[in-house]
Amino acid sequence: MTNISAEDFLKEFNTSGLPAEALEEFKQIEELYTKKLWHQLTESLVRFVKYDCFKQGTMLLDIYKHFISDFESKINPLALMEMLCPFVIRQFSDSAEALAFLEKIKEKSKANLEAKLLCLTAIGNIHLLGNNFEATKKVMEECEAILGDLTGISSVHGRYYELCSNYHQILSHHNEYYKDALRYLGCTDLDTISVPEQQERAFNLGLAGILGDKVFNFGELLQHPVLDSLKDTPRQWLIDLLLTFNSGDIERLNQLRPYWSAQPDLIANELKLKQKIMLLCLMEMTFARPSNNRHLKFTEIATNTGIPVEEVEILAMKAMSLGLVQGTIDQVEEEIHMQWVQPRVLDKQQVGKMKGKLSTWCNDVLSMESLVSSNAQEILT
């Protein structure tokens, strides 16, 4: 299509392949453009470009070149990026052309930080698709600097965390992927993510949490509705495995072995998984005890974790070095005096334990009140 005016483009635009809803939207776009109602036109265009019929071909690119570019200076820069980045760039067959296009529109919207950030994430995704990890990392660092100047949380943050999580997933950075993937879900409406993508995201998150050597808190993921996408599917065993690690249940881990041993990443790291769940078991033992009675015998820890008594001290020192617990080791009495356990997001069972502790504490307070009340007269007289 040669260079033509926006008005002529609208007249010549082929609407034969559009579904009824998109055709109705296009008619509204024509009317709004004629009336020069730029705000309403922008909102209509944002809806228009999301129709599935534009996923193939170069129709969106033509719409931008021959129509949107005519009045893009009147469009909110962030809305412009919302239209162009996720959809138009897919219609470039060559990544170099797509990058050149994005660099061009980035200059047009550099005054708007959110728009610039959105454009940068699109650039980063193209680099990532081409396995150019160094360039992707540079884009991520540039985005991070911009994030520091933004206030509040928006969907733009979600695009950044999605880019980061995809980058870390490809490079098998389990700890970083777990953190950024959760942040992505925290900034994104789950209804905008397809069920298959939710399932894949939930599964990868679960694996990253289990494999991450710095992840000892699964409560946030266990409470997130994205995990529901795995229920009643062949991958439901992962939910059971996450609950097992969260509670430090070593016996249950062995029971679930037929499921998780079929996952290559997990069976390849079997020894690390067992070491990790032992640490979680020690945390759970500490958490379950009342704060005034956290004296754990070596034999008790050995029984719960399944390790020899002579290795209990090493396990305790490892937990302390990781900042999971704080306490002192009494080698003579062969017991550990725990003083603190790392705070975690609790599941319902753990909240129940906390409720029991509060009930015990309330009863102790009432008993002390009764004791003081009954003996007060003797003290006063």
Over residues 13-25, mean pLDDT: 84
Mean pLDDT of 121-132: 94
pLDDT tens readout for residues 172-193? 999 999 999 999 999 999 998 9
d(CA 25, CA 378) in angstroms, rounded, equals 86
Asked if residue 32 is part of any domain, the answer here is yes
pLDDT at 91: 78
Domain boundary among 46, 75, 104: 75
Residue 320, pLDDT > 60, answer yes
pLDDT tens for residues 70-114? 888 888 888 888 888 766 667 788 889 889 989 888 888 878 899
| 320-326: average pLDDT | 95
Instruction: Quote the radius of gyration of the chain (alpha carbons, Å).
Output: 29
Distance (Å, rounded) from C-alpha 115 to C-alpha 77? 6
Residue 295 sits in a domain of what CATH number?
Answer: 1.10.10.10
Q: What percent of the chain has pLDDT over 70?
A: 89
Last residue of a domain, one of 48, 75, 102: 75
Checking if the pLDDT of 364 tops 90, the result is no
Q: Number of structural domains, the chain?
A: 2
Alpha helices in 76-227 (DSSP H): 77-84, 95-108, 113-129, 133-147, 155-170, 174-187, 195-211, 219-222
- Is pLDDT at 378 greater than 70 in this prediction? no
Q: What is the pLDDT of residue 106?
A: 86
Confidence of residue 381 (pLDDT cuts 50, 70, 90): low
Predicted confidence (pLDDT) per residue in 132-169, tens digit: 999 999 999 999 999 988 888 888 899 999 999 999 99
Residue 300 has pLDDT above 80, yes or no: yes
Query: Which range marks the domain in which residue 357 is found?
Result: 289-366
Distance CA 17, CA 26 (A): 12
> Which of 75, 106, 137 marks a domain boundary?
75
> What is the DSSP code (8-state) at residue 193?
S
Choose among 255, 318, 326, 244: nearest CA to 287: 326
Which is more confidently placed, 306 or 56? 306
Q: Mean pLDDT, to the nearest integer, of 212-226?
A: 93
Residue 154 phi/psi, 5° resolution? -140, 180
Q: Is residue 309 part of a domain?
A: yes
Whether 224 maps to a domain, the answer reads no
Residue 209 domain-assigned (yes or no): no
Cβ within 8 Å of residue 60, ≥6 positions away: 49, 54, 87, 88, 91
Nearest to 224 by CA among 183, 260, 253: 183
Average pLDDT of the residues of the chain: 88
- For residues 301 and 282, the answer to whether their CB atoms sit within 8 Å is yes
Task: Answer yes or no: is 205 within a domain.
Answer: no
Helical axes 113-129 vs 77-84, angle rounded to 10° = 20
pTM for this structure?
A: 0.84
**What phi, psi does 150 have (nearest 5°)?**
-95, 150
Q: Could you tell me what percent of the chain has a pLDDT over 90? A: 59
Look at residues 216, 213, 221, 207 and name the one whose alpha carbon lies nearest to residue 265. Answer: 207
pLDDT tens, 330-344?
999 999 999 999 987
Strand pairing category for 325-330 and 335-341: antiparallel
The string over 289-309, giving b where at least 16 C-beta atoms fall within 10 Å of a residue's C-beta and e elsewhere, is beeeebebebeebbebbebee
Residue at 375 is within a domain = no
| Partners of 326 in the β-ladder | 340
Q: Is the pLDDT of residue 319 over 90?
A: yes
Q: What confidence score (pLDDT) does residue 80 get? A: 87
| 232 pLDDT more than 60 | yes
15 part of a folded domain: yes
pLDDT value at residue 357: 59
Residue-wise pLDDT for 30-53, tens only, equals 999 999 999 999 999 988 888 888
